[in-house]
Structure 1
Amino acid sequence: MSIDAPIIVVGGGIAGLSAALAAAPAPVLLLTRRPGAVGAASTLAQGGIAAALGAGDTPAAHARDTCVAGSHHNDVAMVELLTASAPAAIAWLQAIGVDFDRDGDGRLQLGREGGHDRPRIVHAGGDGTGAAVMRALVAAARAESRIHRVAGCDVDALALRDGRVVGVSATLDDGRQQRFDGRAVVLATGGIGGLFPATSNPADADGGGLALAMAAGAAIRDLESVQFHPTALAVPGMHSLPLVTEALRGAGARLLDRDGQPLMAGVHPLGDLAPRDIVARRVAAAVRDGGAWLDARHIGAAWPTAFPTVLAACLAHAIDPRLQPIPVTPAAHFHMGGLATDADGRTSLPGLFAAGEVACNGVHGANRLASNSLLEGVVFGRRLGHWLAAAPSTRTSGGEVEWVGHGRSLSPPALQRLRVLMGVAMGPVRNGAALQTALLECDALAAEGWQAGLARTMLAAARQRRHSLGAHYRDDDAPIVAPVTAA
């Protein structure tokens, strides 16, 4: 391999683009399934980016809320690194062209979302933050001459020589296979929401990068920890559901049951802004009992400017949130688990790195705090890119290259069957019997496609963790948070 071989970044979301831009003093090869920001889960993000920017706020307070939401399963050092780096991350995004929303006095407008004890969320274009950040990152990457992008390819194998990852193989849109050699490979391939019957992710966010690294022997962590967003738009028969951003509840919207009664009353001191795992379980129970709705009619004339994405999604499905409550349901949203990494994105395999949702450095614990995901992608993506740019290039020669792939994919009917299994066994509420049943069915499905093998590993991790922890809630362990008396 040439000493000038590029750093290969697989994935064009916020983490991948941040890593590529930071690494760009070195040659970078960016491999994506689609051009521009198309198809990236980051583009769909409606929530903003959390940072201690307000008067009296501190990174320590942000860190405290992160650990409380994560059920103190977090790696405290990673959390402190994330929250201390947040203000600089916002400044960098502004420098590359992200126009964050401001108040009448020209100051950054700070919103509040679930699990935060105060307003500290910046948005761009109301509920279009992910799209706004992605536009700026894509433009910056296109302007960087050291980044070469190849779109329309699906990476499906890793090349190893003497135990070190030295490249990838991808299937191009025209069906051809192409090999790419690199001095390092960064996986920024997103999450696993596509394995569930309802998700806020793109349908192809199926854990392919995670499964690929696992097949090569990379260490994993907390695979059972899956966050469900409490308020996806309830559209019958639809797999990838539009989000109904948590910022609406930060602006005063209320969750209601089928009788129009407040859903979160007496459940948690923060009410509708309780951590997502608690709200998701409550909403899931209400859906089983007849439905759940979010009443945001009080937003009134501000709807088109403050929440244009939600308004458009609702109107597209004949729901006018200015006049009626919005039907909502939980949906698989974010994977706290993934490839075990350190602060610099290194996995257990030499030459293989990971950033964003596919990685797990412990920053989110057992339940991600709202608006920490885009922040994680920027902070740890940039940190990884800077580390790779400064690292000496490793020349490898001799020895045979071993190609490790994740195998064939499930057929559409088999994938749908798997999604149903995961929805029953790995949803917001779990128990040992359902997990065991799903494991047995996955054993049979695993021979048909790699997605079932990944699901089987996730199910086994959930079965092994017998006690509830954050988003991993078992109803054969302890009761949901005890009711509290309103102050």
Structure 2
Amino acid sequence: MEMTDVLIIGSGIAALQLATSLSPDQNVKILTKSTIKNANSYLAQGGIAAAIGFRDDPSKHFVDTLEAGRFHNHEESVREILNEAPVLIGDIAEVFDKDPNGNILLGLEGAHSEKRIVHAGGDETGKNVIEYLISNLTENVKIEENVFAYELLMDQKRCIGVKAKTQDGTIRYYYGNYVVLATGGCGQVYSFTSNAPTVTGDGIAMAYLAGAEIVDMEFVQFHPTLLYKDGETKGLISEAVRGEGAVLVTEDGVPIMEGVHPLKDLAPRHIVSQTIFDYIQKGYEVYLDIRQINHFETRFPSITANCHKNGINLAEGRIPVVPGSHFLMGGIKTDVIGRTSVDGLFAIGEAACTGLHGANRLASNSLLEGLYQGKKLAQWLNSNPRKSTIGGLPKSLYPLQTKKTKIPDIQVLKDWMMKRVGIVRSKELLEQQKHWLDQFHLMDLIDLDAYSIQDLNKIFMYMTASLITEAALSRTESRGGHYRSDFPYEDENWRKKIIIQKRKEEVALKHEHIETALVN
């Protein structure tokens, strides 16, 4: 039986930052359901937010983050992470784009009061940062690709590892003194999404099944601008495009954000997404007018390539867009370094909910959170080595006779989630979705061993969709990424409440003190 000091599930920026920051004497294993680069982090275009500009300060970044998060944020987490941001950027400064004098270039994105978005390769920030981190992995880090983790192993109340399947259906047992979920969010439960195909909520579902607390699942961010062609989304059009001057217009050239918000096209994402959604519901097509951006193809090479690939003629100066699921503000409840409510289990990155993002993530704060948690958790683990006393546990099982799930094709789930639990929600739609999901009784599943990888992935998507739907039905207000047409306004009574979901317990409302005073 192999015991790993630190067992990491996932391969995004949080996972790789953790792996590269752990001391060389730590035995580390990374398991990834696909390949090491097939993750949301690798696709990230815009950049990383940090207050490093001459006129900027973390206190300004703090104010912007709370405003975007509609003051649902955990203020202590926000302060800790944003104050550390300039140091985190300095740690990997060689990655980022610079001017001729060697100064890091800064971009502007929605709801930021200053230019503070560092980027790499124009619009290939995630790719460049991930490849940098991979290049810095040391021999103590072992990577196993195409291994699907599906069940957390528990010894009494402590997490000691995961059960996983290889491509041929063999069940493998992996043990760790510390187990870290870095599996990302769940964007693929929606039909329109910017997320990588692997981002299906499995880490959140595994944690839920193991008894960990799940929080803020109603807060799903819908990115306003996904490339839209032939009825399908074809990838993200970064908010940095609007930061450089692009304007959202109808097919007749009417700017749709005029008079909606003082920041117009750079308003917080939920406002822009809801505005585009309203126009689409009324039968309009919406475009990004990019004619004001000089040297677009140089500034945004990956977006340019994607547009060309999908037959968009950029010479016409318009890119067709729709909103789609982009980021989950909720997830597995943790502190800032990733400790969950289950002993021995940690969660970092988008799978975790530290309270940084509140009800709506401020643009480019996500990669920042991954860098922060990876570094800080590594420091904690380096200072708290643990030797396991468990033994005699199995290593692997031969493939079992496969069971089949009796649930609809995953595309049905994605379509219903978009229509009923999407950008605009209501009690009627949410109850319809909850009733539809409840009939499959997936939240009561105990034995998962006999299901194929494909069906396990489907089961986890349905579980995650149920958590989102139930939380959205419980929050009877609109706040950030959660908008209900039957409760269209923020309710001060809800501002200090979080919805915690835990297996075998009813959804509970927990009061949490959230300061309303901003930094002086």
Is the TM value for this pair above 0.5? Answer: yes
1:414 positional shift:
2.4
| 2:35 is the counterpart of 1:35 | yes
Alignment of 1:467-482 (within 5 A): 467-478=477-488
- Kept in 2, the 8 Å contact 1:297–1:321? The answer is no
Tell me which residue corresponds to 1:485.
Answer: none
Query: Structure 1 residues 411 and 329 mapped into 2: Cα distance closer, same or farther (>3 Å)?
Result: farther
Tell me which residue corresponds to 1:102.
Answer: 98
Query: Structure 1 residues 451 and 272 mapped into 2: Cα distance closer, same or farther (>3 Å)?
Result: same
- Kept in 2, the 8 Å contact 1:409–1:451? The answer is no
Tell me which residue corresponds to 2:509.
Answer: none
| 2:268 is the counterpart of 1:275 | yes
| 2:55 is the counterpart of 1:56 | yes
Separation (CA, whole Å) in 1 of partners of 2:286 and 2:334: 38
Query: What SS does the aligned partner of 1:180 have?
Result: strand
Tell me which residue corresponds to 2:180.
Answer: 186
1:409 positional shift:
8.3
Q: CA RMSD in A?
A: 2.1
Separation (CA, whole Å) in 2 of partners of 1:450 and 1:202: 16
| 2:135 is the counterpart of 1:139 | yes
Alpha-carbon displacement from aligned partner over 1:414-456 (angstroms, at most 9, x marks no partner): 2111111110122111111100001101112344834223211
Tell me which residue corresponds to 1:435.
Answer: 430
Tell me which residue corresponds to 1:164.
Answer: 158
Separation (CA, whole Å) in 2 of partners of 1:471 and 1:13: 23
Query: What SS does the aligned partner of 2:314 have?
Result: coil
Which amino acid letter does the alignment assign opposite residue 484 of structure 2?
Answer: R
1:169 positional shift:
1.5
1:136 positional shift:
0.5
| 2:471 is the counterpart of 1:461 | yes
Query: Structure 1 residues 124 and 412 mapped into 2: Cα distance closer, same or farther (>3 Å)?
Result: farther
Alignment of 1:298-377 (within 5 A): 298-300=292-294, 302-377=295-370
Alignment of 1:11-50 (within 5 A): 11-25=10-24, 26-37=26-37, 39-50=38-49
Question: Which of 203, 211, 220 does residue 226 from structure 1 map onto?
Answer: 220
Query: Structure 1 residues 180 and 399 mapped into 2: Cα distance closer, same or farther (>3 Å)?
Result: closer
Question: Which of 159, 163, 175 does residue 169 from structure 2 map onto?
Answer: 175
- Kept in 2, the 8 Å contact 1:446–1:452? The answer is no
Separation (CA, whole Å) in 2 of partners of 1:296 and 1:261: 14
Tell me which residue corresponds to 1:120.
Answer: 116
| TM-score scaled by length of structure 1 | 0.92
5+ residue gaps, structure 2: 397-401, 443-457, 491-520
1:381 positional shift:
1.5
| 2:87 is the counterpart of 1:72 | no
Separation (CA, whole Å) in 2 of partners of 1:170 and 1:237: 36
Paired residues, number: 467
Alpha-carbon displacement from aligned partner over 1:348-368 (angstroms, at most 9, x marks no partner): 000100000000010000000
1:40 positional shift:
0.8
Which amino acid letter does the alignment assign opposite residue 203 of structure 1?
Answer: P
Which amino acid letter does the alignment assign opposite residue 202 of structure 1?
Answer: A
Tell me which residue corresponds to 1:197.
Answer: 191
1:24 positional shift:
3.7
Query: Structure 1 residues 222 and 408 mapped into 2: Cα distance closer, same or farther (>3 Å)?
Result: farther
1:324 positional shift:
2.9
Separation (CA, whole Å) in 2 of partners of 1:106 and 1:343: 32
- Kept in 2, the 8 Å contact 1:268–1:274? The answer is yes
Query: Structure 1 residues 411 and 288 mapped into 2: Cα distance closer, same or farther (>3 Å)?
Result: farther
Separation (CA, whole Å) in 2 of partners of 1:347 and 1:393: 17
Give the stretch that moved more between structures: 145-154 or 433-442: 145-154
Query: Structure 1 residues 471 and 177 mapped into 2: Cα distance closer, same or farther (>3 Å)?
Result: same
1:120 positional shift:
0.6
Query: What SS does the aligned partner of 1:114 have?
Result: coil
5+ residue gaps, structure 1: 481-487
1:470 positional shift:
0.7
- Kept in 1, the 8 Å contact 2:8–2:29? The answer is yes
- Kept in 1, the 8 Å contact 2:152–2:159? The answer is yes
Tell me which residue corresponds to 1:449.
Answer: 459
Query: What SS does the aligned partner of 1:30 have?
Result: strand
| TM-score scaled by length of structure 2 | 0.86
Tell me which residue corresponds to 1:483.
Answer: none
1:399 positional shift:
10
1:174 positional shift:
2.9
Give the stretch that moved more between structures: 228-237 or 190-199: 228-237
